A and B are shown apart, each in its own frame.
Chain A
């Protein structure tokens, strides 16, 4: 047997680990990145030394498809942008075209849109937080939050007829008036939301395993967030109190009392808390909206150039028949012009930049997807951190493939 002293020192060198960076490919079908995105990483040990984020696996040509139908035919497409809160997209696009036409929907419809939109925002935030927690091993809050999300879907289903892809917005109103039980149904589900948010906090926010994973990871500074064009909960977690509902109130958001929660450090913990608190604020908005919403009154604006006539009139009068025919065959014809409309989507500023050439077909529909810029800022948040921290950071960016890749 060889004595240790006799060992060639050169052979000891060979036992050391190589100092080269390791290339690692995450995705596009990685179980922890809910959304098809490919992350090309270079790792120095477990630290991320270089990163290339490659979106686009869910590109369906949304903007191109919009350019061949009528303006109202865009609604099914916007459902499939952020498919976790499709109602917010419906409302956002309807507001954009109405801004282009220079019309405002009746008050009752504005409240209706606020109520359905805030329900969608709650489902969005619950889903994001549920998935983030689940990826860190906390399966119980995932199931609890999903349970309540399903009850909200029940309310939306009763209102719109669909659980997920509602296609419920229309230019100048909504597809149908609210059901008689709208207020009762929403009031029934709101306490459950508050209850489950509280339960989630109890389970997670004193949990050492969870806190170790989210505190101080995926940090983004205020200046970087603005520079990258980040909006929504990710921006607010850095301390910027920019919420479109508060900064540039649309619909009737200026009539509600609600707070814009902000974080201080811009890490995953702050993003988690901002979303939880925004769920509570949405409940506050909903309670006020339910109280203020009138029980009677029109939902659609009274403008035959924008809104389909009543069906009974279509069958009995020639004017309504012609109006119906022209709206279906030629579509709504907004004036020639360009218009940018911003609403607060689930992930931040959901912008629609629309160009009309005066015909019934959109000339250009550009959607500003909030999580597109959030994901781009991901390169800053992932860089220098541990490989395992990508999972909670990616979860809190809340990249939604349909919206990001369009």
Chain B
């Protein structure tokens, strides 16, 4: 894979190049955000023309100064020579970058994706709205300060008389990734239970009963522990039969 090297980048982009990074035989020029579109245009219109849009992506550096938080990376390829080029720029969370949609049509969805997942804004974009996520989604999940466990209690369940609809987990619980303790579940002690069992054992309220409209972590009703003999009777066949016994 042949990337345009440092001399090539500097001769092509001139003063707009702030610095050039080299790693593993690949070169990337950092451009000031103010000359982002000029640099892109110089690559699109010069010779050879970088007419093959490859990718536009971003990396979040929350510890950098706010003006330089997001690094937006543009990858291009010249169809005539097969040479690649990589340029990048830094921009703040809300400060808009000029849109590249007038130069490559492929930038349209790429910029919408960056807006969706990183919250980077692009001025002059014809249709800047979320693309992978849905409109009421709160936050931008690829930012480093977006916790991966966060659930989105955005889309409310419809209230249908006589039908109980349950969210798969509570708003603040996140997704249980641990192994399920089946013995404890059958004994009614584990909160990580399936919605219907949770409802029966009153560990969780039905969604229609909750006040917030979404499933909140229901009050855990302490279940009085059964005598030892009874408990092992319940858990024993499960542990042996299904192989899911807690170890």
Contacts from A to B (Cβ < 8 Å): 54-56, 59, 61, 63-65, 67-68, 99-100, 102, 223-224, 226-230, 240, 242, 247-248, 337-342, 349, 351, 353, 355, 363-364, 366, 368, 372-373, 376-377, 380, 405-406
Interface centre among B2, B55, B131, B134 (most CB of A within 10 A): B55
Selected from B26, B79, B82, the residue in CB contact (under 8 A) with A340 is: B26
Do the beta carbons of A339 and B26 come within 8 Å of each other?
Answer: yes
Report the nearest B residue to A337, measured CB to CB. B23
Q: Which residues of B contact A338 (CB under 8 A)?
A: 21, 23, 26, 28, 59, 73
Interface residues of B (CB under 8 A from A): 1-2, 21, 23-24, 26, 28, 51-55, 57, 59-60, 73, 75, 79, 82, 86, 104-106, 108-110, 117, 130-134, 141-142, 146, 148
* Chain B hits for A230, CB < 8 A: 106
The answer to whether B51 touches A223 (Cβ under 8 A) is yes
Q: Which residues of A contact B134 (CB under 8 A)?
A: 56
Q: Which residues of B sit under 8 angstroms from A63, Cβ to Cβ?
A: 117, 142
Chain B residues near A61 (CB-CB < 8 A): 141, 148
> CA A382 – CA B106 in complex, angstroms?
16
Q: Which chain B residues lie closer than 8 Å to A227 at the CB level?
A: 51, 53, 104-106
Q: Are B105 and A228 in contact, CB atoms less than 8 angstroms apart?
A: yes
Name the residue of chain B whose CB is nearest to the CB of A366.
B57
Q: Are A349 and B54 in contact (CB under 8 A)?
A: yes
A340 touching B86, Cβ below 8 Å: yes
Nearest CB on B from A192, distance (A): 35
Contact of B148 among A64, A100, A228, A229 (CB under 8 A): A64
A366 CA / B79 CA spacing, docked (Å) = 23
CA distance A340 to B82 in the complex (A): 15
Interface centre among A68, A228, A240, A355 (most CB of B within 10 A): A228
Interface contact B132-A229, CB-CB below 8 Å: no
Closest B residue to A336 using CB positions: B23
Q: In the complex, which residues of chain B have a beta carbon less than 8 angstroms from the beta carbon of A355?
A: 59
- Shortest C-beta distance, B144 to chain A (Å), equals 8
**Which B residue's beta carbon lies closest to that of A353?**
B57
Min CB distance A221 to B, Å, is 12
A-B contact count (CB 8 A): 102
A340-B26, A373-B109 given; A55·B53 CB < 8 A: no
**In the complex, residue of chain B having the shortest beta-carbon distance to the beta carbon of A341:** B1
Q: Which of A223, A248, A373, A376 contacts B2 (CB 8 A)?
A: A248
In contact, A339 and B23 (Cβ under 8 angstroms): yes
Chain B: CB-nearest residue to A405:
B132
Q: Given the interface contacts A339-B24, A339-B26, does A373 sit within 8 Å of B82 by beta carbon?
A: no
Partner among B2, B28, B53, B109 whose Cβ is within 8 Å of the Cβ of A226 = B53
- The interface centre, meaning the residue of B53, B75, B109, B133 with most chain A CB atoms within 10 A of its CB, is B109
Least Cβ–Cβ distance between B116 and chain A, in angstroms: 8
- Contact A229–B54 (Cβ < 8 Å): yes
Chain B residue nearest to A59 (CB atoms) is B132
CA separation between A13 and B2, bound complex, in Å? 66
**B58 CB → nearest A CB, Å:** 8
- Asked whether A353 and B73 contact (CB < 8 A) given A56-B133, A229-B53, A229-B55, the answer is yes
Asked if residues A351 and B75 are in contact (CB atoms below 8 Å), the reply is yes
Which residue of B1, B104, B146 contacts A248 across the interface (Cβ within 8 Å)? B1
- Contacts beyond the supplied A56-B131, A240-B79, A353-B75: 13 A-B pairs with Cβ under 8 Å: A54-B131, A59-B133, A63-B142, A67-B148, A102-B24, A229-B55, A338-B23, A349-B54, A364-B59, A368-B55, A368-B75, A376-B106, A376-B109
* Nearest-Cβ distance from residue A157 to partner chain B, whole angstroms: 23
Closest 5 A-B residue pairs measured CB to CB?
Answer: A229-B106, A229-B53, A56-B132, A337-B23, A59-B132
Structural contact, A226 and B132, CB atoms closer than 8 A: no
> Chain A residues with Cβ under 8 A from B131's Cβ?
54-56
Quick one: closest B residue to A369, CB to CB?
B55
- Hey, which chain B residues are within 8 Å of A342, CB to CB? 1
Closest beta carbon of chain A to B85's beta carbon, Å? 11
Residues of B within 8 A of A56 (CB): 130-134
B51 A368 Cβ-Cβ under 8 A: no
Q: Bound state CA distance, A55 and B110, in angstroms?
A: 13
Q: Is the CB of B28 within 8 A of A242?
A: no
